Amino acid sequence: MKYCTECSSEYQDSVTRCADCGGTELVGAAEMKKRGLLLANEVDTRKFVRATTTDDPLSSDAMVAVLEGAEIPVFARPRRDDSTAMPWWEILVPEDQLAKATPLLKDERDKMAANADEAAKAAEEEEKETEGTGS
Ligand SMILES: [Zn+2]
C-alpha cells in the first residue's frame, strides 16, 4: 500500500499519481509515519486547528497530556522554522474542541511559567546563601 503525502489517500503500489488531489508523491506507511503524516484510515474527518505552539518537546508533551486528560483528541506536529532552522511544535485539536482546549492550555502555560519562576527564585536564593558564607 502507498499513500499520498498531500491528502493521505490510499493506493495500490503500482499507482504513481494521486487521483484525488493530483499529488505525485506516494510513499509507504512507514515513510508517512516518519514524516508525522496520518494514513487515510487514521485521519479524523473533523477539521484540526492549531490550539497552541511550543518551542520545546517537553512543553509539547505536557500540553498533549493535559488535553488527553480532558479527553480532547490532540496531536502535536513538529515543525521547523525555515529561516532559523529552529524546531517548534504545533498542537492541534478539532475545531469544535478549541474552546474547551484553550483555557486548559492557558492554565498549563501559567503553571509552567510559575514553575520556571520558582526555579529561578530557588537558584537566586542559593546564590545569596553562597555569597553569604563568604563574608
Ligand atoms: Zn492526494
Q: How far apart are CA 135 and CA 56, in angstroms?
A: 41
User: Which of 15, 14, 28 lies closest to 5 in space, CA to CA?
Assistant: 28
Phi and psi at 5, nearest 5°, equal -70, -15
**Cα–ligand 1 centroid distance for 12 (angstroms):** 13
Encode pLDDT of 77-105 as tens digits: 888 888 888 899 999 999 999 999 999 99
pTM score? 0.58
Position 38 scores a pLDDT of 81
Q: How far is the CA of 38 from the centre of ligand 1 (A)?
A: 13
Ligand 1 centroid distance, CA of 44 (Å): 16
- Measure 10 CA to ligand 1 centroid, in angstroms: 9
Which of 14, 15, 66, 19 lies closest to 6 in space, CA to CA?
A: 19
